[in-house]
Copies of this chain bind each other. A is one copy, B any other.
């Protein structure tokens, strides 16, 4: 079973990487971008076809490794 895990910075957490991208787009002449925030995305293949089991497994992976839950949110989407 495939899943997509998205990890984003919580609101209010500064994102210097996103700011740098905004600046770079402006210098390149790409007009009309107001703000950019960068996150991470993981495409995960899990060895189960039970959605509940997959959800539990991915939640554990997020809590323990993929996301820093102090400053980041994560969302799990089964495909």
Contacts from A to B (Cβ < 8 Å): 6, 8, 18, 21, 24-25, 28, 30-48, 53, 57, 60-61, 64-66
When C-beta atoms are compared, the residue in chain B nearest to A7 turns out to be B41
Task: Please tell me if the beta carbons of A47 and B34 are within 8 angstroms of each other in the complex.
Answer: yes
Least CB distance from A77 to B in Å reads: 12
Task: Please tell me if the beta carbons of A57 and B28 are within 8 angstroms of each other in the complex.
Answer: no
When C-beta atoms are compared, the residue in chain B nearest to A9 turns out to be B43
| Alpha-carbon separation in the docked complex, A45 to B18 (Å) | 11
Task: Please tell me if the beta carbons of B25 and A61 are within 8 angstroms of each other in the complex.
Answer: yes
| Alpha-carbon separation in the docked complex, A16 to B52 (Å) | 29
Task: Please tell me if the beta carbons of B8 and A33 are within 8 angstroms of each other in the complex.
Answer: no
Known A-B contacts A28-B64, A28-B65; A45 and B40 likewise in contact (beta carbons under 8 Å): no
